[in-house]
Structure 1
């Protein structure tokens, strides 16, 4: 059986698969669509990250495909209906990168609240902006608002509570009677109430029709003017131009974005000269440790699926 891996994967997990299968591992395949379509022609397994578009067209080029392994958790790059129609199993690495994302959220929140960590260039030039940077804020007695309260949101809540944050969350998919609220000590709020109260707002929802541009100019205007927004979920949930306008106008305290509507960003993007902004290239869930966990989970599950074993996740 043949497995195609079109984006980077931990070496040990690739080697494990190579022991049992005919594996084509080429992390550059994601950028070579013609070669990718040719490669999947006789493949039973396909392993991708977020950039490979597992479209109906790609699936049509893979008549023998049985399983798609996703090195991550978002599935918006995979045509789930087309997979279901073909009875192709889709396996995400649920939970394997949660710690990495949660730590990214906490680190970004601390940097943006404190403010001083973006002063390296000034200090290196001989400037001494001590007075301006002495108004940074601590985490204690601040409110962290989580939009979405799944596994990553819950782990983020636990880490934040250890730093003194009060955590609130909005998740219409979880009823108020669910035990998770009492178990985690997190208070459930409506989205408007969360936005009005939270000093830090972190997004943990999938990109679906109801969340596309959820954070547009109207929503951003409901936030505290000193609040910071963190998006590690998916590009398209935040209206990037509206966010840039709010930051330039001082209507928002700061933002950290790891995901964007188009990746990589175009050179004429909305973020030139925007203050109090952290941009990273979709790496919140990718660390040395999480890559190993994600890759091992997907190697085990995809390999097991092709061997006819029951899934373990």
Structure 2
């Protein structure tokens, strides 16, 4: 019976969810604790890897899995995968691109609105029995009429732009390859340079991949060039932002707030200085996870593995990266 190794650690409830989706004739190998060492310990019998989370899949992991036939990425990011090591071993790698894009886009909008309306702090004080209607209300802001700057405009950024059309905002974007003018008109977006985006946007949202070129894309200089009181949103990867510089900017008020679903170290520690900031709305990299998207993401990935095992790789819906 072919065995599928989960490289992400799931607690009892999500694991039970995944177990129900395993195709007949396959056995699931779950992790007993998170981390690369545990993946290596459990990899010897794996015919397939269902890769999720932030655990690095590199030569050490692959060398511990001599039976491995194929790797299926449940999400879209590739920064946790050593592509050269995978390619050197001749292992096919499939990625389910775009499957969670709409969910992340909705989460992005939630963080934008939640940060502008200080929803985390408002919720907390209201639960504590404080009725600070005017005291807190006058420190909140409308979305209408603001300039939104999208850095990156792939599947997720495109969905964000589509949603924003209903809010009466001015949406600008920056990406390496500019869209055709017809597509810009459809999305109601305007192309600008990165510097112009930083200087003119009230809200800046990150939707680009993490790589050597984009690491700390938003650093001290970029933060200093933003409008006073601007809001920064990150539902992509934590490494896109210099977190120490962002913390200083939040403390000084240069940055008015941040809505963060991704961090340089995950899971985020409860005593991290960012968690002490009232103007930070934080979620645990949950933007891509809802009941609907998790079922589609995991179910689709497992179906692809079953197709590969059955010699029907031409029917796999995911993109083959390697």
- Calculate the TM-score normalised by the size of structure 1: 0.91
Is the alpha carbon distance of 1:210 and 1:178 closer, same or farther for their aligned partners in structure 2, counting shifts above 3 Å? farther
- Report the alpha carbon displacement of residue 16 of structure 1 after superposing the two structures with TM: 4.5
On the 8 A contact 2:150/2:174 being kept in 1, the answer is yes
Size of the aligned set, in residue pairs, is 310
- Report the alpha carbon displacement of residue 10 of structure 1 after superposing the two structures with TM: 6.9
Other-structure match for 1:3: 4
- Distance in 2, matches of 1:58 and 1:140, equals 49
On the 8 A contact 2:150/2:206 being kept in 1, the answer is yes
Structure 1 stretches (4+) deviating beyond 6 angstroms? none
- Report the alpha carbon displacement of residue 13 of structure 1 after superposing the two structures with TM: 5.7
On the 8 A contact 1:67/1:306 being kept in 2, the answer is no
- Report the alpha carbon displacement of residue 57 of structure 1 after superposing the two structures with TM: 0.3
- Report the alpha carbon displacement of residue 177 of structure 1 after superposing the two structures with TM: 3.9
- Distance in 1, matches of 2:35 and 2:299, equals 24
Other-structure match for 2:97: 94
Other-structure match for 1:42: 45
Which is worse superposed, 10-19 or 105-114? 10-19
2:268 pairs with 1:265: yes
- Report the alpha carbon displacement of residue 18 of structure 1 after superposing the two structures with TM: 4.0
Other-structure match for 2:281: 278
Other-structure match for 2:132: 128
1:227-286 CA distances to partner (integer Å, 9 max, x unpaired)? 110111111111111111101101011001111111123455332532311111111111
2:155 pairs with 1:154: no
Equivalent position SS for 1:284: coil
Other-structure match for 2:212: 209
Unaligned runs of 5+ in 2: none
Which is worse superposed, 113-122 or 99-108? 113-122
2:317 pairs with 1:312: yes
Equivalent position SS for 2:44: helix
1:16-61 CA distances to partner (integer Å, 9 max, x unpaired)? 534032x224253534724x32432232210121233211100011
2:204 pairs with 1:220: no
Q: Quick one: which of 27, 37, 41 aligns to 1:33?
A: 37
